[in-house]
Amino acid sequence: MEEIKKQYNKFLYPEPIENMKELIESNSYAEMCNANIFWDKYFPEKKYTDKLNVLSAGCGTNQIINLALENPNWKIHGIDLSEASIDFVHKQIKKYDLKNVTAEVKDIFDINYKNEFDFVVSTGVIHHTKQPKKALTKLVDATNSSGALHIMVYASYGRRGVYDIQKIMKYLDVQQDQEGINLVRNYIENGPEDLPEKKRYNAKTDKYDAGIIDTYLNPQDVAYDATDIEELIDGTGSYFQNWYDNLFLYPQEYLRYLNIDPKKFNKLNPFESADLTQRHLGQANKFDFILRKHKKFEFLWHDIKDIKNETIVKNGFYLGVASGTDWSSDFGGQLYYKAHSDLKSIPFNLQEGIVWSCIIEGINNSDNQSGVKVSSLLSKCKSMAKEKKLELVFTDKIIKEILHKMWKISLVRFIGKVDG
């Protein structure tokens, strides 16, 4: 703990942002855990409310300032081991005269909150502690019974090269100072093109000094296989609701050329699905996921049976990138995504293209673009196919299968009551 505290006191991470307000105004900064924007990822069963009591554990420098500016009605508390980070947060609170946020120097292991917070966020923190499960249990205890947690831990698949470099630097007794930072940079930047870590390093956005320290010279840092996350959560009093983003964590689309019976994929739980996909793709370097305290939320929407006729469908956050439908062929459009900074795509067939078009049309015609019911999608798809003179069969089962597949690539999200 002392080593970690020393590191984050000397090398504040992320790099402190002085002008957060301007960045928000120019849409240049968004926290993933901003439930104001991503409400239904956390609380698909609940109407939006901005009266949230929020804890950010290991808040670092910028997270709670961003959340406080974005959500003036939230009440936010941040804790962190690093005095220097909390000092910076206090300066920003003063600068922006923020009344809805407080911050203190505190170790996660020293908190004793019980059922106090509606929303608990801890991103990139517990994997730097010696007892991640114990830290997670503290955070679960702090969450109230209808609350949610957003947790991010490192994923092993895309970080293999990071650990090789950490080990190399340990053998060479490289220190956490300017000389060490320069040495790491020089090693990767001037190393051979086929150095395994080079591609990831080139895509890295935090190449500043504290970013080099945080990644390559970190003394306490574990990464998880997807299946280890099940073990991490077990016994903490929480249930895994969903991955924050399913793209790259469900295998069907990436192995479609093998023509495998979908039943083989469907019998896997979310951890196994993610593990299989990442053993194939090998690029994830972190897992963001959502935990809840009631068992009824466990693996929500993972089973197709969770999609009801009254479930509301909304577009995921890739709207605008799915395109290209050609009604005269079997090409229903495609979803573009980036993998290792290469642009790739997942094509749809015509039937999927119809469903997608009806979702978008339904959302555009609904009040406040609030989404479209599964039951009304069925009739919309039937009439669109008829209008376009396409001989396609749409049934309740087919629509739900297509929606489920779209959910698995984050193209849609669901809102609705949860049984239990």
Ligand X SMILES: C[S@@+](CC[C@H](N)C(=O)[O-])C[C@H]1O[C@@H](n2cnc3c(N)ncnc32)[C@H](O)[C@@H]1O
How near is the Cβ of 13 to ligand X at its closest, in Å? 5
d(CA 233, CA 408): 22
CA distances from 349 to 45, 143, 355 (A): 31, 43, 10
Q: Which CB sits closer to ligand X, 243 or 356?
A: 243
Q: Which CB sits closer to ligand X, 206 or 303?
A: 206
How near is the Cβ of 154 to ligand X at its closest, in Å? 10
Q: Assess 60 for contact with ligand X (CB under 6 A).
A: yes
Q: Which CB sits closer to ligand X, 58 or 161?
A: 58
**Is-contact 148 290, C-beta < 8 A?**
yes
How near is the Cβ of 57 to ligand X at its closest, in Å? 6
Could you tell me the maximum CA-CA distance found in the chain, to the nearest angstrom? 71
**Is-contact 85 79, C-beta < 8 A?**
no
How near is the Cβ of 58 to ligand X at its closest, in Å? 3
Residues in the chain: 420
How near is the Cβ of 66 to ligand X at its closest, in Å? 9
Report 125-164 residues binding ligand X (CB under 6 A).
125, 128-129
Please name the residue ranges forming H helices in 116-269. 132-142, 160-171, 178-189, 198-203, 209-216, 226-233, 262-266
Burial of 144 (C-beta count, 10 Å sphere; 0-12/13-18/19+)? middle
Q: Which CB sits closer to ligand X, 218 or 278?
A: 218
Q: Which CB sits closer to ligand X, 87 or 107?
A: 107
Report 325-354 residues binding ligand X (CB under 6 A).
none
Tokens at 182, concatenated: 């320069």
User: Which SS3 state, helix, strand or coil, does residue 12 take?
Assistant: coil
Strands (DSSP E) found in 37-175: 53-57, 75-80, 101-105, 117-123, 143-154
Binding segment for ligand X (CB under 6 A), chosen from 7-15, 95-103, 227-235, 283-291, is: 7-15
How near is the Cβ of 301 to ligand X at its closest, in Å? 26
Report 207-236 residues binding ligand X (CB under 6 A).
214
How near is the Cβ of 209 to ligand X at its closest, in Å? 14
Report 68-87 residues binding ligand X (CB under 6 A).
79-82, 85
Closest residue to ligand X: CB criterion:
60
How near is the Cβ of 123 to ligand X at its closest, in Å? 4
Q: Which CB sits closer to ligand X, 118 or 221?
A: 221
Q: Which position has the token pair 């963001």?
A: 288
How near is the Cβ of 294 to ligand X at its closest, in Å? 25
Number of amino acids touching ligand X (CB under 6 A): 23
Q: Which CB sits closer to ligand X, 59 or 247?
A: 59
Give which of 317, 356, 316, 315 is closest to 333, Cα–Cα.
356
**Is-contact 284 225, C-beta < 8 A?**
no
d(CA 339, CA 334): 15
Site string for ligand X, 87-126 (x = CB under 6 A): --------------------xxx-------------xxx-
What one-character-per-residue DSSP string does 284-305 give?
--EEEEEEESSGGGTTTTTSGG
Residues near ligand X (CB under 6 A) are 4, 8, 13-14, 58-60, 62-63, 79-82, 85, 107-109, 123-125, 128-129, 214
